[in-house]
Amino acid sequence: MPTNEERMAWLFFSFLQARAGTSLVSRLGSLSPVEAMEMAPERFAAATGRGERVSSHFMEIKRSFRHDEIMERLSERGISVVTLADENYPSRLRETSDPPPALFVDGDIPDPPYVAVVGSRKASVGGLDAAAEVGRALGGRGVCVVSGLALGVDGAAHRGTLSVAGKTLGVLGCGIDIVYPKKHHALFGEVRRMGGIVSEYYLGEAPLAWRFPARNRIVAGMCETVVVVEAAEKSGALITARHALDAGRDVWAVPGPAGAHECRGSNKLLADGAGVLWDVEEFAESVAPGEKAPATGHELAGEIPAELPANEAAALSGVGFEPAGVDVVAARSGMGVGELLSALTMLELKGYVSRDSGGGFVRKAAP
């Protein structure tokens, strides 16, 4: 059983690592976290091979660290903490070379298996559809889909999973209480309700650029398998894939058009030996063999319920898993704008669609 001292020490190192912007867990060696926390700042920096900057942060955080106050603030927000001392720390993440000292959890961490679905923030319509389809297929088989709650592929994968009432986990690159991007406010709530949101960063920590590559190691480390959908040659999704390969996890990629800039990274993964995800159901069966497969077509998530009036059913068919404006929904559904707006209003009242902060319409999990 972990001691309070161990849990407190790992929480301290979570704060220090977030401030210093460098890995410390991997450098403790045979030192216990309690021993390391009690060291003089200069001795700790020397023992971990870090310099004066870490020593300065160590001393500063040591002075201001109030464990009970931290836990009280988290409890007030319904947020829990899982540290490396706890038995319920994700086992596969613990096995990696650089596990976060602590995870802040808003909601729950669903049970395994876990599969990550990652890709471009500026994905094509085809990429968004592919991510949503993978999310639906996995979610319908009881697999927890892990992603980063970002725009593009991440959001589509989460929404696809939610559309079949599947379990999903969002991993943040900022404080556990920060909604980033802001237009995903509604999606954050749905992910929290059907799974959870985790971060290695405490309340109020800003979404700084360097924190997102660090976040990607958690996405990869949590999972048995990582799926890449549309990734350019220099992208966060490829960082996630590299972390997965370094940890001995399976990496799959959705093939993209030859020569397409936004798919050069994911296509190179295929050239280097990643699994080719060309059939979603076959892939889902390989990940969760024997599990119940989701329904197909419109029955997939009760997306077009039979009891909906014809105009509402047509409107719903034009709403996807990423926010789209009225003009886009009108083009997809073949409806006039006046009739469409009336139908969308009813669908919103019934809980089938929602609007984001920019006025775009997006599907919700079936009510």
Where would I find the H helices in the chain?
4-20, 33-37, 41-47, 52-64, 67-76, 91-94, 125-139, 153-162, 185-194, 211-222, 236-246, 264-271, 280-287, 310-317, 326-333, 337-350
Query: Would strands 250-254 and 225-229 be described as parallel, antiparallel, or unpaired?
Result: parallel
Q: For residue 293, what pLDDT is reported?
A: 55
Tokens of 51: 């310099």
Q: Where are the domains of the chain?
A: 1-65, 107-287, 299-363
Give the architecture (CATH level 2) of 107-287.
3-Layer(aba) Sandwich (3.40)
58: left (phi over 0), alpha (psi -120 to 50) or beta: alpha
Angle of CA points 331, 332, 333, to nearest 5°: 95
- β-partners of residue 324 are 361
SS3 state of residue 108: coil
Q: For residue 296, what pLDDT is reported?
A: 40
Q: For residue 324, what pLDDT is reported?
A: 81
- Domain spanning 299-363, CATH class: mainly alpha
Q: For residue 117, what pLDDT is reported?
A: 98
Tokens of 248: 């001995």
Reading the chain (367 residues) residue by residue, the pLDDT tens digits are 678 999 999 999 999 999 988 888 888 888 899 999 999 988 888 888 877 888 899 999 999 999 999 999 999 999 999 999 999 999 999 999 999 999 999 999 999 999 999 999 998 888 998 999 999 999 999 999 999 999 999 999 999 999 888 999 999 999 999 999 998 998 999 999 999 999 999 999 999 999 999 999 999 999 999 999 999 998 999 999 999 999 999 999 999 988 888 899 999 999 999 999 999 999 999 999 877 654 443 333 345 777 889 999 888 888 877 778 888 788 777 788 889 999 999 999 988 888 877 788 888 766 6
